[in-house]
Amino acid sequence: MFNRFIRPAPENFLDRHQIQAVRSGRRDFLAGAMVAASGALAAGQARAQGDPHILNLPPHSKALGQPVAARGYGVPSEWEKNLQRRESPGLTRVPQSSVSFSPLQGLFGIITPSGLHFERHHQGWWDVDPSQHRLMVNGSDEAMLKRPMVFSMDELMRLPSVSRMHFIECGANTGMEWGNVAVPTVQYTHGMLSCSEFTGVPLRTVLELCGADFKRGKFVLAEGADGSGMTRTIPMSMVMDGQVLLAYGQNGEMLRPENGYPLRLVVPGVQGVSWVKYLRRIELGDMPYGSKDETLHYVDLMPDGLHRQYTSIQEVKSVITSPSGGQVLLEKGFHSVTGLAWSGRGKVKRVDVSVDGGKNWKAARLEGPVLSKCLTRFNSDFVWDGKPAFFQSRAVDETGQIQPTYGELRRVRASRSIYHNNAIQSWALSENGELKNVQLS
Ligand SMILES: Nc1nc2c(c(=O)[nH]1)N[C@H]1C(S)=C(S)[C@@H](COP(=O)(O)O)O[C@H]1N2
Ligand SMILES: [Mo]
């Protein structure tokens, strides 16, 4: 990230040497900035004295640049190489059943560039041949769905489509933080979160086409084509309002292979696991399916030792993405505090920001657009006087739900859970400008 006042977080937090390098590099950075500043001053004086040689134009101001279409598909600037999705080392035993986290600290606005969308695979990703891919739609019995059908991608893409912007958050996002602070940067605390414009056909349209019995049909089963046998139950109440999509488009082009090319389910507001990728089958039935991914996994361990099943809505949540853990404020004075807020229940109504650990709160500015079940970007002003501070954000959604503190959440859910942690995140700023992940109750 190019920002003269904030030093980015070290890219690999487990590499101690690198952190040291970043620390010791700080003085060089400041010194470098000073030299550059005095250089600019000298150039200004020289220009004023009419010296033509001192202008010293860079090559890009004097020669022809690259030809058009030198790259048929554009890629980011080579100066942006540090902005990468990253795996949390040691999180899983094999990289096929793992997560890569989005670099939230370096993103603007609300759309996640497709190449930086987080990845969660249970059995590795595939680049599936779309001409061979099929979606089967059937009922749990013959009366449930009159015309079971098998669709090719061409047949699906012939149907009327819609495009909608929605966030997707893995139910396990922030899951490592239930008991205590576990990871240092926002990429690892909140990076199982991304937001895209998705294009596809409402599942309801396809079910209608197949002659579904909407009175008896209360649930659908969605099944993926990868080796993980990913299967999830979706209540028909979510499908009926047209929000659940059979999506093939992501940010104006086809889905990326890592995100389920050529077809995935989009279930707005619901945890990522229900957004089945490489979608190959939809079955309409009259009861929840109780698949392995909903009876064994993605359950919430409650304080009494019982598991709560089928928690699916991602509740109201927010996080300050900059300044955030691992970054360093290089100067006193004005800093823009910015972050993301979202709710699986609808629109974000308000985000409050505190810089004193929750004693005082101030409403942040919401950058538009504010859309339902979509990320909302907020920002707020902060003038650093060199003293320690604690940054927090607290979101409220249009249903009146308020993001809880860690204390409030743990009183209801205890601290041994994995999924659905939407507690208020705190970043501690110390006198030397460094920001750290801390938990305040
Ligand atoms: N077929 C299939 N679908 C899947 C998964 C998978 O492993 N296989 N992972 C699920 C989980 S747990 C999440 S959080 C989201 C992640 O979507 P993404 O990789 O596009 O970010 O996909 C879901 N759909
Ligand atoms: Mo997930």
Q: Is the CB of 117 under 6 A from ligand 1?
A: yes
Tens of pLDDT, residue by residue, the chain (441 residues)? 556 688 887 765 543 333 333 333 333 333 334 444 444 445 455 455 555 556 789 999 999 999 999 999 999 999 999 999 999 877 888 888 999 999 999 999 999 999 999 999 999 999 999 999 999 999 999 999 999 999 999 999 999 999 999 999 999 999 999 999 999 999 999 999 999 999 999 999 999 999 999 999 999 999 999 999 899 999 999 999 999 999 999 999 999 999 999 999 999 999 999 999 999 999 999 999 999 989 888 999 999 999 998 889 999 999 999 999 999 999 999 999 999 999 999 999 999 999 999 999 999 999 999 999 999 999 999 999 999 999 999 999 999 999 999 999 999 999 999 999 999 999 999 999 999 999 998
The ligand 1 atom nearest the CA atom of 265: 24
Q: Is the CB of 228 under 6 A from ligand 1?
A: yes
For position 44, what pLDDT does the model report? 52
Q: Which of 170, 254, 267, 298 to mutate to test the pocket of ligand 1 (most atoms within 8 A of CB)?
A: 170
Burial of 417 by CB count in 10 Å (0-12 exposed, 13-18 middle, 19+ buried)?
A: buried
Q: Is the CB of 169 under 6 A from ligand 1?
A: no
Amino acid code (one letter) for 59: P
Query: Which segments of 174-222 does DSSP mark as H helices, in order?
Result: 186-190, 203-209
What's the fold here for domain 99-308?
Sulfite Oxidase; Chain A, domain 2 (3.90.420)
Count the Cβ atoms, other than its own, within 10 Å of residue 231. 18
Residue nearest to atom 10 of ligand 1 (CA): 273
For position 45, what pLDDT does the model report? 55
- The C-alpha torsion from 419 through 82 and 18 to 333, rounded to 10°, is -90
Q: How far apart are CA 437 and CA 348, in angstroms?
A: 24
Q: How far apart are CA 240 and CA 221, in angstroms?
A: 15
How, if at all, do strands 119-121 and 149-152 pair?
unpaired
For position 352, what pLDDT does the model report? 98
Return the SS3 of 161.
coil
Q: How far apart are CA 140 and CA 285, in angstroms?
A: 5
Return the SS3 of 281.
strand
Domain 317-438 of CATH type 3.60.150.10: no
Q: Which among 63, 65, 43 is positioned nearest to 52, based on CA atoms?
A: 43
How, if at all, do strands 307-308 and 134-139 pair?
unpaired
Query: Any bridge partners for residue 90, and if so which?
Result: none
For position 12, what pLDDT does the model report? 54
For position 40, what pLDDT does the model report? 47
CA atoms within 13 A on the CB side of 319: 23
What are the domain boundaries of the chain?
A: 99-308, 317-438
Return the SS3 of 40.
helix
Question: How does DSSP classify residue 244?
Answer: -
Q: In Å, how far are 115, 157, 200 from 246, measured between CA atoms?
A: 21, 10, 5
For position 7, what pLDDT does the model report? 82
Q: Which of 101, 277, 312 to mutate to test the pocket of ligand 1 (most atoms within 8 A of CB)?
A: 277
